[in-house]
Amino acid sequence: MASTEKSPGENALAALPSGAVRSFETELSGAAILPADPEYERARGVWNGMIDRYPAIIARCRGVADVVASVAFARAHDLPLAVRGGGHNVAGTAVCDAGLVVDLSAMRSVHVDPDAKTARVEGGATLGDVDRETQLFGLATALGAVSETGVAGLTLNGGYGHLSREYGLAVDNLRSVDVVTADGEVVTASAEQNEDLFWGLRGGGGRFGIATSFEFDLHEVGPEVYSLFCWFHGDDTAAVLEEFREWTADAPRNASVLAFAARVPELEAFPEETWGELAVALFGSYRGDLEGAEECFRSLRERATPIADLSGSMAYTDLQSMLDEDYPDGLRYYWKSIFLTDLTDEVIDIVESYTDAAPSALSTIDLWHLGDAVEEVPRDASAFWHRDKPYMLTVEANWEDPVDDDDANVTWAREVFAAVQALPVASGRYGNFPGLNEDPEKLRFGDNYERAISLKERYDPDALFGTIGGEESRTDGEESRVDGE
């Protein structure tokens, strides 16, 4: 017998005045999706299959006026509010229970000015949308490394990717942001206008307003780049990571490398006898004169005998989408990150030992090489604080099986994280890989925390867009549910 129990979304919708809901539906040029609508189940789903929330209304916005109307409706009826860009934040911040989701996924336009080397990007666009348009002119901006990620969430939380060491974080490439504030005002934030808001948007997540469009600086990148993608046997993990550490000491800015420990996937690109074997891999890129790529990466590729070396020249857009298949919609994810002042032998030992203990063969432990252009921006120049750290370690628990395996995989990730966090070289947090937002916000903002709190009190005193620190939560105890990647 089917259950007749109503979802949080159905209960919240029933409590709203029906006339107000009808007026809101009429006011939108987009669509208001309600729990009874055929589209609702698909529309409430996000990338992380662990997230199962039931909003009262999903407002699929077609323009800024729809966003303003949605903010006004949420305020008027004291509804929790979430903002969906690409829906890729691992904590599921793009959807909420019993509230209103401002869905920007239909707002994906990208306008490129090749002469000014800028791009205007709407808040629902993905990295792939941006790369597709900018690469027509041999240009790119510094974004992430998975093309299906949303631009908004990635950028507002900082934004690391292949181009970071050369051109900075995604936030460092912002010229301006158009924002709908908590009182429904439409403003532009830049170095010349609403400078304090611009400071907070660059690293503060979506806590200060809804970003409806971004203006980015562009750089000459591609269309061809060199991709490093080399896999080694697990027995060589320490040797490969030691070589990676040595390489990062004086790596050129136009090259980037991410190291990760994993298990060999069951793909034709790898010898069948190695499938499921422990491995360590290097993934990166080289831009500019491609003749220098082989020499740049030679020591990394020759440190040990590879299982498979898939390196070579490719289109920049292909580089940006290489990892898409590894992170499909609906897989279950729990990711956490912590910054490192050094890649010590103790860190390498943890990476090596805990990879073997992972409950899922899809899980990885990643080491990002940071610094250079990121570090050169003063730490108090934007809300993003942890610029001085040369490395970041990310624990990626990825698994297919449903709820029964959730505890085992989350527990494993937290054990890895605790082991790293206990080391003196580890500190801070990164907003794009936040677990389930269970950690204190001060770990993310560092010495920018008090200024972020003051800015929050000015622009969103009622915490419509989630909370910072000790503020009273409007979203059932979670830190934030806005601007999912």
What is the pLDDT, as a whole number, of residue 404?
A: 66
Q: State residue 356's pLDDT score.
A: 94
What fold does the segment set 224-427 form as a domain? Vanillyl-alcohol Oxidase; Chain A, domain 3 (3.40.462)
pLDDT of residue 468: 86
Q: Give ranges for CATH 3.40.462.20 in the chain.
A: 224-427
pLDDT at res. 171: 97
Partnered with residue 230 across adjacent β-strands are 282, 309
Residue with tokens 């093309």: 147
| Distance, CA of 268 to CA of 429 (rounded, Å) | 37
CATH of domain 110-220: 3.30.465.10
- Residue range(s) in the chain whose domain bears CATH number 3.30.43.10: 8-103
Stretch(es) of the chain classified as CATH 3.30.465.10: 110-220
pLDDT, residue 478, reads 31
E-strand ranges in 167-249 read: 174-180, 186-190, 210-217, 219-220, 224-233
pLDDT at site 401: 79
Residues 349-365 pLDDT 10s? 999 999 999 999 999 99
47 CB-near residues (< 8 Å, 6+ apart): 86, 87, 88, 148, 327, 329, 330, 333
pLDDT one-digit tens code per residue, 364-422: 999 999 999 999 999 999 999 999 999 999 999 999 977 669 999 999 999 999 999 99
Between CA 215 and CA 191 the distance in angstroms is 12
Q: Reply yes or no on whether the pLDDT at 233 is more than 70.
A: yes
Rounded-to-integer distance, Cα 373 and Cα 244, Å:
19
Spatial neighbors of 82 by CB under 8 A, at least 6 apart, are 55, 93, 94, 95, 96, 99, 100, 101, 102, 481, 482, 484
Region label for 101, one of left (φ > 0), alpha (ψ between -120 and 50) or beta (otherwise): beta
Tell me the per-residue pLDDT of 425-435, one tens digit each, with 9 for 90 and over: 999 999 999 99
pLDDT number for residue 484: 39
What is the structure's pLDDT at 140?
A: 98
Amino acid at 3: S
Residues in the chain: 485
pLDDT in tens, 284-309: 999 988 889 999 999 999 999 999 99
- In tens, the pLDDT along 455-476 reads 999 999 999 999 886 433 333 3
Residues 236-248 have pLDDT tens digits of 999 999 999 999 9
Residue (of 411, 412, 449, 414) closest to 428 by Cα position: 449
Q: pLDDT of 111-162, one tens digit each?
A: 999 999 999 999 999 999 999 999 999 999 999 999 999 999 999 999 999 9
The CATH code belonging to domain 8-103 is 3.30.43.10
Q: Of 171, 142, 147, 144, which Cα lies nearest the Cα of 157?
A: 171
Percent of the chain surpassing pLDDT 90? 92
Distance CA 100, CA 133 (A): 31
Place of tokens 């320490």: 238
